[in-house]
Amino acid sequence: MSFAISTAILFAFSAICNTKVSRLMDQITANLIRLIFATFILGLVTIIIEPKSFHPEASTWLLFSGIVGFGIGDIALFMALSKIGSRLTILINFCTATLVGALSDWIWLGDTIKKENIIFIISILAGLSLALLPKNPRTTKNNFYKVGIIAALIAGFGQGMGASISRHANVIANQYNISIGGTSQAFQRVFAGLLFLLIIFLIKKFSSREQVRSSPTKKPIPWLICAALFGPVLGVSCFQASLKTMTSGESMAIVATSPIILIPLAIIFEKDKPTVSSILGGLFAVSGVIGMVLST
């Protein structure tokens, strides 16, 4: 449970950094640089502390999970962040991921969720929906806004399916009495996402007459470093560790409180003041998290 809560906090900081980066430079390029940095750190740590945490079959599933989550999911995530901002993007992303992860675990892995936890999950999602409603309903008619919503939904699907695939990899590893820690899982997933993004980057570069846009200044660099640390390095490592003791739906429900943690951060970094419904929804969502902690 503590790993899932830590993931929620780290992902909130990561969302702020990713939003800054997505508006300062080309999204695919920014995401590629972020994953290169994260892959280097995670790979170094994995070699030092978990050199025997690789298995042909389990690692193959982790690589596939990385393509779905970090490859497809993160491209959509950065697109959504640049169009609708961090608060709404993270809301849709995590809520969708929670539902997709729980449904996938139930159909594919045969997991069940306690009845009381279903109530708490609904409470969390309802609170998040209330907390992050758009301030101006007329913005929902904007095409720019609609593209952002669709991108956030795709990002959530990628994250939810990626989590479920990771759990399947854990099941295989356990059958062979192999322990794959959170850092090693994060490295294998991020590495696969990096390769996928590299292919997309090269296709875009050589198929387009225009060069991939990048920022001429050093301004995005600090945000890129922080985005890599809070997201793929620390955040995903904690998230992978949480999946070893919880189902994807339960873990993602807790991680889905990240938008609530994001509210004060958005005030500081994006000058985005919360409404009364944001505060009430936040309290409602947090009460659902407390209920899940006590029930577990």
Report CA dihedral (271, 276, 277, 283) to the nearest 10 degrees: 100
Residue type, 234: L
pLDDT tens sequence across 75-102? 999 999 888 888 888 888 877 887 787 7
pLDDT tens sequence across 241-269? 887 777 766 777 788 788 888 888 888 88
Count other C-beta atoms under 10 Å from residue 271's C-beta. 7
**Which pLDDT belongs to residue 215?**
46
The predicted model gives 60-89 an average pLDDT of: 90
Percentage of residues in the chain with pLDDT exceeding 90? Answer: 26
Q: Is residue 269 part of a domain?
A: no
Q: Is-above-0.85 flag for pTM?
A: no
Count: domains in the chain:
1
Q: Is residue 290 part of a domain?
A: no
pLDDT tens sequence across 191-214? 999 999 999 999 988 886 555 454
Q: Is the pLDDT of residue 61 over 90?
A: yes
Can you give 234-294 as a three-state secondary structure string? HHHHHHHHHCCCCCHHHHHHHHCCHHHHHHHHHHHHHCCCCCHHHHHHHHHHHHHHHHHHH
Q: Is residue 157 part of a domain?
A: yes
Q: Which is higher by pLDDT, 278 or 38? A: 38
**Average pLDDT over all residues of the chain:** 83
Q: Is the pLDDT of residue 134 over 70?
A: no
Domain boundaries, position 57: 2-109+139-244
Q: Is residue 281 part of a domain?
A: no
